[in-house]
Amino acid sequence: MIWLALAACLSWAVLLFGRGMFWRARDDDRDAADLPEPERWPEVQVIIPARDEAETIGATVRSLAMQDYPGRFSILVVNDRSTDHTGALARAAGAEVLDGQGRAPGWSGKLYALQQGLQAVSGRSHEFLLFTDADIVHAPDSLRRLVQRAEAGCLDLVSLMARLRCESAAERWTIPAFVFFFQMLYPFRWSNDPAARTAAAAGGCVLLRREPFEARGGLAPIRGRIIDDCALAGLMKRGGSPIWLGLTERVRSLRSYDDLGTIRAMVARTAYAQLGYNPALLLGMVLAMGLVFLAPPLLAIFATGAAKWLGLAAWCAMVLAFAPMLRRYGLAAERAIALPLIAAVYLLFTLDSAWAEWRGRGGFWKGEALSRE
C-alpha cells in the first residue's frame, strides 16, 4: 500500500511540475490583439470539409464570411457525399461549394475531402490555408488574429483548440476533462517549443503557410491517419517549421454531445489509434490510469496510516490540477473531486475503441469505418 501511495504521489508531482504546467490552462490566444500587425495582409484560402452538416454549415460559413480580415480571403466547402442539404446551405451562406468524390483507398474521409479542396484551389494565389470544420463558428476577428500571430512569430502552423460545447449534463461532466487529458498528453508549451519533440494541433482550426506545407508533401504523407491534426503538426515540426497551438474563446464548436453515447463515439474513434494500435501500450495505459487517477481516492478511502494520507495528498493534487480547466468552462472547481470517476469513464471509452478496432470497426465516424488495413 505504501509503495503504491508513494508512486501515485510521485506521478502527480511529475504531472504538476514536469509536464509544461499544462494544467494551468493559460496557453491561449488572449495576447493576439497585442501582437504587431503585418505591413501586408496575405491572401487566405479557407477550406471546410463537410458531410451531412446541414445543422451547422450555414452558421460556420456566415461566421467566416463576416470576418474583418483586411486582406483577401475566400471560402471553399467540400461537400463530401452529403445526403442532406449541406451543399445548398453552404452556397446560400456565401461559400463556393465543391462536390467531393468517394474516398480514395488509403485516405481518411476528412483528409481526402481536404485534398480535393486543395487540388481545386491549386492554381490560386493564396499564401495561407485555413482548415476549419463544418461545426465551428469564428468570432469576427478570428482570421485576423490567426494571421497576425503567424506573421509576428514567423510560424508555419497556427492552431486554436475550439471552445467545445458544454451545456448538457454529459458535456459538463466530461468535456472539460477531454481538453484536460489532451493537454496532459500534448502540453501546449512543449508543442510550441521548437526544441521539443511534442507536436500537436486541433483540427477544428488550423492555419498553414502554404509554401512550407506543400514542400513537406501536403496531406499525402499523413493521408491515412485518424488523428490527422496532430499528425499534420508533427509533419510540419519535423520538417523544421515553427508551430503554435493554444486555447481560445474566439473559435467555438457547435457540435452537441447530449449523452454519454455520443461522447463515447467521439472518444472511441481515435483513442486506440492514439496508442498506435498496440496492445502492450493499451495495457500500460490501463495501469497508468489506474495508478494516477483511481489509486489515490481508493487509498484515501480504504487505506490506513501513511498510505491513506499519501493517497489523499495525490487526490488533492488531482483536484488542484483539474480546477483551472473547470473554471475556464464556467464550472465549479469542486467538480474536480469527481475526476477519478470521469477518468474511469474515459478508460472504458478507450477499451471500447480497442474492441471496435479488433472487430474491424475502428475509426467509425459518420457511417464509415477506418480500421487499419
Residue 16, Cα to own-chain centre: how many angstroms? 22
Find, among 95, 94, 129, the residue nearest to 114 by Cα: 129
Tell me how far apart the alpha carbons of residues 35 and 120 are, in angstroms, rounded to a whole number: 33
Query: What confidence tier does 102 reach under pLDDT thresholds 50, 70, 90?
Result: confident
- Residues 48-76 pLDDT 10s: 999 999 999 999 999 999 999 999 999 99
**Residue of higher predicted confidence among 109 and 286:** 286
**What's the pLDDT tens digit per position in 9-31?**
999 999 999 999 999 999 999 99
> DSSP of 151-166, one letter per residue?
HHHT-SEEEEEEEPP-
List pLDDT tens digits, range 336-352: 999 999 999 999 999 99
Q: Average pLDDT for residues 69-84, to the nearest whole number?
A: 96
Q: Which pLDDT value is given to residue 360?
A: 78
CB 322 within 8 A of CB 337: no
Give the span between the Cα atoms of 201 and 15, in whole angstroms.
Answer: 21
Q: What is the pLDDT of residues 136-155, one digit of tens each?
A: 999 999 999 999 999 999 99
pLDDT attached to residue 319: 97
Name which of 50-64, 194-208, 256-270, 279-293 the model is least confident about: 256-270
Please state whether 305 falls in left (phi above 0), alpha (psi between -120 and 50) or beta: left
How confident is the model over 367-371, as a mean pLDDT? 63
Q: What are 106-130's pLDDT values in tens digits?
A: 898 899 999 999 999 999 999 999 9
pLDDT tier at 371 (50, 70, 90 boundaries)?
A: low
pLDDT greater than 70 at residue 87: yes
Residue 373 has pLDDT above 50, yes or no: no
Determine the pLDDT at residue 358: 87
Task: Tell whether the model's pLDDT for residue 167 goes beyond 70.
Answer: yes
Give dist(CA 77, CA 54) in Å, integer.
12
Question: Which one-letter amino acid corresponds to residue 42?
Answer: P
Band of residue 8 on the pLDDT scale cut at 50, 70, 90: very high
Give the domains, in start order, of the chain with CATH numbers: 2-21+262-357 (no CATH), 26-258 (3.90.550.10)
- CA proximity to 277, closest of 355, 174, 166, 368: 355
- Determine the Cα–Cα distance for residues 209 and 212; give it in Å rounded to an integer: 6
Spatial distance between the Cα atoms of 219 and 206, rounded to a whole number of angstroms: 13
Percentage of the chain with pLDDT > 90?
Answer: 89
Q: What is the pTM of this model?
A: 0.94
pLDDT one-digit tens code per residue, 192-214:
999 999 999 999 999 999 999 99
> Mean pLDDT throughout 164-183?
96
Give alpha helix (H) positions in the chain.
Answer: 2-17, 57-65, 86-92, 109-120, 142-153, 169-185, 188-191, 210-215, 228-238, 260-268, 271-274, 279-289, 295-302, 305-328, 339-358
Helix (H, G, I), strand (E, B) or coil at 28: strand
Does residue 215 carry a pLDDT above 60?
Answer: yes
